[in-house]
Homo-oligomer: A and B are copies of this chain.
Amino acid sequence: MCGIIGVENNENAAVLVSAGLLNLQHRGEESAGITISGKEKMKTFKTMGLVSTLFNEDILINKLPGTAAIGHVRYTTSSKSSLLNAQPFQISCIHGNLAVVHNGNITNFHQLRKELLKKGSIFNHTSDTEILLHYIAMSKGNLSSIVANSLKKLEGAFSIIILKDKTLIGVRDKNGYRPLVLGKIGNSYIIASESCAIEALSGKYVRDIAPGEIIIIENGQIRKSFFYGKSKKQNTCIFEQVYFSRPDSVMFSKTVRKARLKMGEYLAEQMRGIKADIVMPVPNSGYFAALGFSRYSNIIFENGFIRNYYVGRSFIKPSQSLRDLTVKLKLLPIKEVVSGKEIIVIDDSIVRGTTSKRLIDVLKRTGAKKIHFAFSCPPIISPCYYGIDTPSKEHLIAANNSTERIKKYLGVDSLTFLRLDNLIKACAPESRKENLFCCSCFNGKYPTKVPKKIYKEIV
């Protein structure tokens, strides 16, 4: 998972991209970077950690004069992560200086890389994004056709923004796995992973970049927009609405919040027989589903956990003695809400099961009488090859255990997963429900050929 953004035709491009990244930070906390051009030579600044570390007047105001900029936040659980692989990647090639940001996973990366190595290419990074840069550098002609031709070789998931001089090029893969939206602020266009970043800058959401679309923007004008390839089916990651995207982002013409309220309603419908004193979310991802559940079922909504936002990753690292305290420190049950009650707890999804187990244990020790655990999506049974960092199959609890066994492991009184048909109904727009989503993590049906191994790191 990553978040990307680009702004053009704006004296405050660097400031806007940085502020926009702050609103894509939920898509990645590991590294942040920005490239700016349009006035002086193209320049790139990157940092490990949060976007806020990029922020000091020097970098944004003095060191980064320009009118076009792109930015990136990166999410990685891989321990090999480093500043080297932080984006944007800035390079020099026959077409001049280019920078690129990328969200997604190129599934035929391994094979393409091998071919390029044979041709004599050198790789400075371990990221799959470098592939595209090689293809662009090796092609001749105008930039839009070069990009189109280059993309034809790539399979998998990629929402990409390219910066060259004052020009932004936005690209979304044929399946439209990862979101990418177009917005406007004054006379400037914005391209971003999610609409919430556009709203935050007081910009206006214009439309989604379509699957397979290439859009070229310069001087506040859309110079060109065309399809480099078209597929019959769109395959947008449904997990974006379940978990990754921010509730105020618009996807398929409605907010993620609304989709999640619906997920809660459908869950309530599925669980109609179950009686409970309260329904409560696991903060924050279960919030709107729990609210929707409550509205549908008339079971009272409660915030039974206090989330401590000061407990971050920096805290989790140290000694074992501290790590044992962590779940309790991050999510604190409120005794008077939980104790002696029959409760319905709503979380977004279950992956390995260990976090859920610890949460249930905490609730029991706090005195919950009965616990009904529900997830706003189906069991995850297959790894993702399109940019989400799920573990391999052997670590997915639902890939290896029946619902009954998971229920026993967690020690809950009932366990419910939102049915896939209900999830799709919750996420799809009114107008069209078919052929919109990639649900491969739930049903194992991959829209493209998948690599034998999830690509983690090569060099």
CB under 8 Å from chain B, chain A span 128-145: 133-134, 137-139
B120 and A459 within 8 A (CB): no
Residue of B19, B91, B257, B332 near A248 (CB, 8 A) is B332
A57 and B91 within 8 A (CB): no
A118 neighbours in B (Cβ, 8 Å): 94
A26 neighbours in B (Cβ, 8 Å): 310
Say yes or no: A306-B120 contact (C-beta < 8 A), given A19-B322, A52-B312: no
Say yes or no: A335-B199 contact (C-beta < 8 A), given A55-B318, A61-B319: yes
Confirm or deny: A23 has a beta carbon within 8 angstroms of a beta carbon on chain B. yes
Confirm or deny: A51 has a beta carbon within 8 angstroms of a beta carbon on chain B. yes
B312 and A60 within 8 A (CB): no
A52 and B310 within 8 A (CB): yes
Closest Cβ of chain B to A287, distance in Å, is 7
Say yes or no: A52-B122 contact (C-beta < 8 A), given A92-B459, A332-B199: no
Closest Cβ of chain B to A444, distance in Å, is 32
Chain B residue with the shortest CB-CB distance to A365: B202
B306 and A19 within 8 A (CB): no
B201 and A325 within 8 A (CB): yes
Confirm or deny: A403 has a beta carbon within 8 angstroms of a beta carbon on chain B. no
A306 and B246 within 8 A (CB): yes
Chain B residue with the shortest CB-CB distance to A287: B303
Confirm or deny: A50 has a beta carbon within 8 angstroms of a beta carbon on chain B. yes
B459 and A55 within 8 A (CB): no
A interface, how many residues as a size bin?
35 or more
Confirm or deny: A15 has a beta carbon within 8 angstroms of a beta carbon on chain B. yes
Chain B residue with the shortest CB-CB distance to A310: B25
A257 and B336 within 8 A (CB): yes
B97 and A459 within 8 A (CB): yes
A94 neighbours in B (Cβ, 8 Å): 117-118, 120
A90 neighbours in B (Cβ, 8 Å): 124
A61 neighbours in B (Cβ, 8 Å): 318-319, 321
A329 and B124 within 8 A (CB): no
A247 neighbours in B (Cβ, 8 Å): 306, 334
Closest Cβ of chain B to A305, distance in Å, is 9
Closest Cβ of chain B to A295, distance in Å, is 8
Chain B residue with the shortest CB-CB distance to A366: B199
A199 neighbours in B (Cβ, 8 Å): 332, 335
Residue of B306, B315, B458 near A196 (CB, 8 A) is B306
A314 neighbours in B (Cβ, 8 Å): 52-53, 55
Most-contacted residue by chain B among A199, A300, A310 (CB, 10 A): A310
A318 neighbours in B (Cβ, 8 Å): 55-57, 60-61
B137 and A121 within 8 A (CB): yes
Closest Cβ of chain B to A62, distance in Å, is 10
Closest Cβ of chain B to A454, distance in Å, is 18
A134 neighbours in B (Cβ, 8 Å): 120, 122
CA distance A317 to B57 in the complex (A): 9
Residue of B60, B301, B309, B319 near A322 (CB, 8 A) is B60
Residue of B57, B93, B288, B308 near A123 (CB, 8 A) is B93
Closest Cβ of chain B to A85, distance in Å, is 12
A254 neighbours in B (Cβ, 8 Å): 336
Chain A residues with CB under 8 Å of chain B are: 12, 15, 18-19, 22-23, 25-26, 41-42, 50-53, 55-57, 60-61, 89-94, 97, 117-124, 126, 133-134, 137-139, 196, 199-202, 246-248, 254-255, 257-258, 287-288, 291, 295, 300-301, 303, 306, 308-312, 314-315, 317-319, 321-322, 325, 328-329, 332, 334-337, 365, 458-459
Q: Please list 27 pairs of residues, one from A and one from B, whose beta carbons are closer than 8 Å in the complex, sorted by A's number.
A: A12-B321, A18-B322, A19-B322, A19-B325, A19-B329, A23-B308, A26-B310, A50-B310, A51-B310, A52-B312, A55-B317, A90-B124, A91-B123, A93-B117, A94-B117, A119-B138, A120-B134, A120-B137, A122-B134, A199-B335, A248-B306, A255-B336, A257-B334, A288-B303, A291-B303, A295-B300, A309-B309
With A23-B329, A55-B317 given, name 6 new contacts (CB 8 A): A18-B322, A23-B308, A94-B118, A247-B334, A287-B303, A291-B303
